[in-house]
Structure 1
């Protein structure tokens, strides 16, 4: 008959329900996971976020401004007031040129100015004004990069957008009509469709920005068939509301005035375009705000929410795991 072994009187069963080895293994796992999360948190902030905050190379967007003002009617050869004015700005990235550049975003931009008479235009050259150009920017800093067929030679800190992480300070904004930068002054915060952004404003005094060959009669010189007239530009007021995290423009308002003067003239002889306010349409504002919410949310996730959560959880796990490892080494019942 088989006898059942009895435990020795000196034998004491372990009070640990999972055996002597599991607490040590679990503590090492906790310590390892906690350490990993503590390393991951700053990595997300210092490495991942900067690589997420870059200008895209595959953008294709259209912004539409509308307003009223005076425009020069070439058929009537005079300035006509109270006209609806539409400015359409399309931005399309050149992916191939962007990839070849290595670090730049290459964006081809077309800007057209129309009245109801020229909309919709089968040929954009029928518009009051049609301007194609190329903006090349450093994908991280937003600074102009002078390569890849850039035209014109753009300068400044911002143009179609601001840099990421917009600050409460003045910025040098490229005004393509002026052909130079203007200083935008920070004016506090403003909400666009319930979403808060930083507000910037500027004005542009009357400045000569080019010449144009026109009939002499247009600039009060009827005896001369052709005159190289001076083009002058000013702006009643520029207002931009910008998303702080992404630098995306949520709302834009401009008040352009473009005129012609006789060579050496001291006053305007003809008004080509004059409007106190041409601003983003409701649809353009909605699209800009929706995109800003999405993109800033992703940046906040990798730059703040996840790193903070990883740091807190990592500290807790590492602390618990380390304490269990130390206690396990001191307790003979958990080691061989």
Structure 2
């Protein structure tokens, strides 16, 4: 009897070795390349809430009004590919019930444009590609990949500086759980603006260089753990004017106790985060672990079957065959023909 490996055992062995080689490739090569900030983004997020604002036409503060903040992020693919970074152009409008129906950013209560450039892997600012303004910190439109349960520095564009956020546990948005981060901004002078003196309590002065002050009573950001995508944001901004050197606010430009993502924006952000997170989990955890375990089992089974082989009977050769019908046995007298 002799042994030879069956095709089935060789197939199992080969498949097991392939899966064992594929597992680390997915975890160490494919997944890190998948953990990159996308460059072909086109996302619009909307905040809504009640608040107050200064109506320049009526020269009066309008209280308990609907405030809408619309932010559109559009990726600059050409500049991103050329620089190896993520280049996002950002347009943000703040609208009141009077300006929202006009759907014209030039007529909004406030309109700002920004150009945000980050490292696609770390999410840190990269100062190139006509970035404006110059950003710092670890988070703004998104958090880094692989969030940790620690504090992060979030860039507040109105403040023009970073705000420390602390980890505040987890929170579910539209049934999807994310990491919650909170912070506040104390009243801070952010600039100056030339206005009529009567507006800030200086009626005897024609024009004054009023001080702009900003505060934020409550920042709450909920982000997906794997991708860093913000699935809900809530802010409580307050922008005021003060007379030069004054210690009290004279005019409220904008104030709200809570501007938050609309339910529609939450659902869209959750869907995007869930899809991206699922793909990262698949190539970074599920396939490497499952494929590695399956590969080890298949390789062992295939090797065992190949070692045992398949027993086949050995056919005798002509040289080893027994004597034929006319053969003379050794030591026997030959048979002589009679007559």
TM-score (norm 1): 0.90
1:77 aligns with 2:59: yes
Which aligned segments of 4 or more residues in structure 1 are displaced greater than 6 angstroms? Answer: 331-334
1:45 aligns with 2:30: no
Q: Where in structure 2 are there 5+ consecutive unaligned residues?
A: 315-339
2: CA distance between counterparts of 1:326 and 1:21? 9
SS of residue matched to 1:28: helix
1: CA distance between counterparts of 2:8 and 2:204? 97
SS of residue matched to 2:218: strand
SS of residue matched to 1:88: strand
- The count of residues paired between Structure 1 and Structure 2 equals 314
State the match for 1:59 in structure 2. Answer: 41
State the match for 1:98 in structure 2. Answer: 80
SS of residue matched to 1:117: coil
SS of residue matched to 1:292: helix
State the match for 2:333 in structure 1. Answer: none
Deviations 1:147-179, CA, capped at 9 Å, x for gaps: 000011100001000111111110000001101
Residue of structure 1 aligned with 2:189, choices 208, 211, 220? 208
Q: What are the residue-to-residue correspondences of 1:160-179 with 2, within 5 Å?
A: 160-179=141-160
Deviations 1:249-291, CA, capped at 9 Å, x for gaps: 1111000000011122211111101110010001000101111
2: CA distance between counterparts of 1:176 and 1:122? 23
TM-score (norm 2): 0.89
Work out which of the two has the higher radius of gyration on C-alpha atoms and give 1 or 2.
2
2: CA distance between counterparts of 1:122 and 1:303? 43
Residue of structure 2 aligned with 1:68, choices 50, 71, 74? 50
| Deviation at residue 211 of structure 1 after TM alignment | 1.2
Residue of structure 2 aligned with 1:304, choices 271, 276, 285? 285
1:35 aligns with 2:17: yes
Q: Aligned-pair RMSD on alpha carbons?
A: 1.8
1: CA distance between counterparts of 2:204 and 2:91? 37
1: CA distance between counterparts of 2:231 and 2:178? 8
